[in-house]
Structure 1
């Protein structure tokens, strides 16, 4: 008897941004592929990863929105993290192997924690963890770590915009961190422990904000799974959602067509820098362009502007 091979329905063109609230234990790529399957999307990407242990905001991009993912990679971020004192792991979080244990210093308190926070504020140097995807000689650092090879890791300049103590229970404390790109909260947790005189690691991490996006506006995989396929697109923000922080320029039909053909056009010389561009008549988002001395040149345009509407 011949077994008939099942064929999957073809992927469809989906354009937009999905704000996902990732649950613990799920890799960022697994979250992306699950969301892509649920939307039956042809093309998908993410704007930076979260460790499997971490929860919270993971913006996913689909179709034409993938062209603007870099905007969030460079954005400031905000986290809530729980730092467990007395134990340090090789990864800096609860998923790693224990490498050091120490007794908690006598007299440690919420006030003691508050006293060390200011030294981590502002622009500081931070040494990234060996278990990270940063590359050295073309290889991720975690490959050296897994092979037991010691490598020197250069410190990087980062900025901590805000650092607030939210809770303290006698052996662990919870903090809110607003920071620049490139900040490792795992490293911050270990460094805070050392400043207090003991070992430490992250026992929980939740990303609550990236740029202008907040986790309160995100949807979980579980919620998406309960929605009928035809209703899932309703959770997508429009393609221009990632670039709303930029100034906008509206173009008439002739200039819009010329820009889409790659020609440089004249605009108000007061406009400058990177801008988002729309067709004035339809409010269709055309993409990004750069303006200098009254000359507007395409930077990154979407392929099918007729299908992507600005909100």
Structure 2
């Protein structure tokens, strides 16, 4: 396996882990406390990252880390949960799958990259694939939920592109970099959580296990792998890996909840997998016969 393939595989672990979030939230966590769940996923994990790395931002990285943490964590999480509350899960997942398309456009604006019609096209195929997998016949389209879903995709998409633009300080580890952003995002979530939700009246052992999974594995570990991959891999190709999240959630529904997949859903799986696979490569430009490439 080449270094590029190994890094891509390691980065893909992040969206695979994020695909377990819905199952963990519904099966283990107290109901009606999405902001508290987001806070517990971010702030303790961020503090652990700071403790392990023993590195704080310096100079301009104070405000850069705050911006990235707000976009990737502090804004993305509440918008994601709002979309999930106002829309069926399939609709919310499909809106989230638009992120690679947004990233492809933002990469042109922010990074001055040449627009990749190849990856843009496969991003559209990925949205169609995810839609076929998760959208049901009773899907509803609440305007507030749709705006929240698209805004959440835009927030994290912008955070992903800015992460690529600003890079990571050489002296900071991937865990430390993730710790900066998780801490900043957790601080953004702290006041809204205490004001609007508060702490659940009862937090049992299953909830503790759920918070530990979301924070340590789905938070610190997953974001460390994600940001480390973004440092080297093409930004739009990395964003396409995010299609794994709704697919993993659907597979867990089959394995754990006993759900079944129709033939149309299996076609959607094939579309989405083809999109994230094809998006990792750029085809060589065609050359005229007899002329060197």
TM-score of Structure 1 vs Structure 2, range by shorter chain: under 0.3
TM normalised by structure 2 equals 0.26
TM normalised by structure 1 equals 0.25
| Greater share of helix | 2
| Greater share of strand | 1
Rg comparison, structure with higher value: 1
Q: Whose RCO is larger (CA < 8 A, sep 6+)?
A: 2
